[in-house]
Amino acid sequence: MIDDSEIFSLTGLEISEGLAQGNFSSEEVTLAFLNRIKEVDQKVHAFLSYDEEDMLEQSRFSDQRRSSSNLLGPLDGVPVGLKDVISAKGQPLTAASKILENYRSPYDATVTVKLKKAGAVVGGRLNLDEFAMGSSTENSAYGPTRNPWNLERVPGGSSGGSSAAVAARETPLTLGSDTGGSIRQPASLCGVVGMKPTYGRVSRYGLAAFASSLDQIGPFSQTVEDAAQLLEVISGHDPLDSTSFPTPVPKFAECLKGKIEPCKLGLPKEFFGPGMDDDVRDSLDQAIQWYEKKGYQMMEISLPTTELSVPVYYVIATAEASSNLARYDGIRYTSRSDLAENAIDVYSKSRGEGFGEEVKRRCILGAYGLSSGYYDAYYLRAQKTRTLIRNDFDKAFAQVDAILTPTSPTPAFKFGEKSDDPISMYLSDIYTISTNLAGLPGISVPCGFSENGLPIGMQLIGPAFAEESLLSIAHDYDRECQFGRKQPNL
């Protein structure tokens, strides 16, 4: 019988291959990961909850399908965890907030439906910054997630639980959401692969909304190959999401099997200036040299409005958040304050007690930016500047096939290091935010470690709906260097 440690070290596609060869069953795989969660999650706290019985039942159904040669696809029998803003019928959906602590979703998100149709063992609710607002997973109402590489440091955010769970080998695949870097930044800090697809590529139906024009669901994994397979499963047009784009879904996993012809990569000078940690710069330089040796052409480009991306983002994102979070009012499905004495109290006290400080801060900022007399000065101007940011990318992609940048300016920082300085925390996403504003696909690939052993990520950005070529460029590096296969000692 294969040892648990041999199973939980495997990638999703390696598990799929092992299942096909009869090396183990889906039930054995699921048990191995459940045992791993019980062994290490008290240190990491990647999971808010998981339904062991339901996961094992799903795995047994997968084994039955396999025995009758009725497989549903490559992920049949492979566990996949969900960030706790993605609906799964009958399971908790807290968004890491006290205001939703007793809420259970009555329906599946579209991505959850797609995973179940593909036969994946869907289980586990993963920790995050409350309502996906943060860059460190310190803002969770249920306690922070810790970085598996150094438990004194943050895993990044807001999808810190999703990235840490893969890094700690508690599950082979997870889904997160990315509004301003919330997949790519924690992927970089935890040393795993994380991808934000093009806006509209993956349905947002069943995702607890933060900023509707920016949010996008995407995969975490050890390898680009796994990310491609998971993205293929969850992508596609959805009439339940008005922002879902009606475009065919390529065979992302298949496109990685052929030999890629070296192409032209852009290096935006604005991303390689002051503020970047020396270890990050060294790892990026080595990655750039690797691509050059493989025949890729490097070209310095300019994205001049990059410096405006953070203020533009925090006007637009907070405005949309204040609107989206108005529904959490203590009246319908949220928790209600016991101190409320009248209708006004129900609203004010339920929201005051239920929301954390960062959520309150962003809702107040957003309401201010949308208020009478300030709308034109803030929100409207931010939207106009957003168009300029998108135009910069259009000009860049007329010259290059993809753009290479750091994912995060620093490796993982210590708990509390940026908590008292919101601006410093917001700047953690300075390299990722513009991609969301422009609606483009971006992927973070592990590219090295700092002197003190912390992971570092490289970001690749492509034109809209060019995931096929972007994944190929990322995979070309990842299959040889394989930094994401390295495992922390827990």
Residue 414: DSSP 8-state: B
- Strand 216-221 versus strand 264-268 pairing type: unpaired
Task: Give the mean model confidence (pLDDT) for residues 421-426.
Answer: 76
- 424 pLDDT more than 80: no
pLDDT reported for residue 4: 76
Question: From the candidates 25, 59, 62, 83, which is the catalytic residue?
Answer: 83
| Residue 83: active-site member | yes
pLDDT band, residue 1 (cuts 50/70/90): low
Least confident of 174-183, 218-227, 344-353: 344-353
Task: Give the mean model confidence (pLDDT) for residues 208-231.
Answer: 98
Q: What percent of the chain has pLDDT over 70?
A: 100
How many other CB atoms sit within 10 Å of the CB of residue 38? 12
- 396 pLDDT more than 80: yes
Q: What is the dihedral of CA 112, 443, 158, 303, to 10 degrees?
A: -130
Say which CATH topology domain 4-263+403-485 has.
Answer: Amidase signature (AS) enzymes (3.90.1300)
pLDDT band, residue 83 (cuts 50/70/90): very high
d(C-alpha 51, C-alpha 173), whole Å: 17
157 neighbors 129 (Cβ within 8 angstroms):
yes
Chain position carrying tokens 């990310």: 227
Task: Give the mean model confidence (pLDDT) for residues 373-391.
Answer: 94
What tokens were used for 171?
């599950």
Q: Residue 459 belongs to what H/E stretch?
A: strand 455-461
- 248 pLDDT more than 80: yes
Question: From the candidates 182, 221, 244, 444, which is the catalytic residue?
Answer: 182
Single-letter code of the amino acid located at 29: V
Q: Quick: pLDDT tens for 2-41.
A: 777 789 999 999 999 999 999 999 999 999 999 999 999 9
CA 293 to each of CA 158, 280, 312, 445, 459: distance values in angstroms, whole numbers, following the listed order: 35, 20, 38, 18, 19
Residue 261: DSSP 8-state: P
d(C-alpha 277, C-alpha 279), whole Å: 6
- 217 pLDDT more than 90: yes
| Residue 182: active-site member | yes
Question: From the candidates 59, 87, 105, 158, which is the catalytic residue?
Answer: 158
Closest CA to 212 of 182, 175, 174, 242: 242
What tokens were used for 11?
């990638």
pLDDT reported for residue 175: 98
Tally the residues of the chain: 490
pLDDT reported for residue 338: 86
What tokens were used for 486?
């390295």
79 against 336, higher pLDDT: 79
Closest CA to 185 of 455, 390, 463: 455
Task: Give the mean model confidence (pLDDT) for residues 65-70.
Answer: 94
The residues with which 268 forms a beta bridge, in sequence order, are 301
**Residue ranges per domain, the chain?**
4-263+403-485, 308-381
Task: Give the mean model confidence (pLDDT) for residues 430-446.
Answer: 97
pLDDT reported for residue 257: 86
Closest CA to 129 of 203, 26, 48, 204: 48
Q: Quick: pLDDT tens for 309-352.
A: 999 999 999 999 999 999 999 888 788 888 888 888 888 888 99
d(C-alpha 63, C-alpha 71), whole Å: 9
402 neighbors 265 (Cβ within 8 angstroms):
yes
Q: Quick: pLDDT tens for 267-280.
A: 999 999 888 999 99
Task: Give the mean model confidence (pLDDT) for residues 248-255.
Answer: 94
158 neighbors 182 (Cβ within 8 angstroms):
yes
The region, left, alpha or beta by phi > 0 then psi within -120 to 50, assigned to residue 460 is: beta
Cα 89 from chain centre: 21
- 118 pLDDT more than 60: yes
pLDDT band, residue 425 (cuts 50/70/90): confident
Q: What is the dihedral of CA 236, 242, 246, 252, to 10 degrees?
A: -30
3-state secondary structure of 63: helix
pLDDT reported for residue 136: 96
d(C-alpha 483, C-alpha 185), whole Å: 16
Chain position carrying tokens 């990050």: 280
Average confidence score pLDDT of the chain: 95
Cα 461 from chain centre: 15
Q: What is the pTM of this model?
A: 0.96
262 neighbors 297 (Cβ within 8 angstroms):
yes
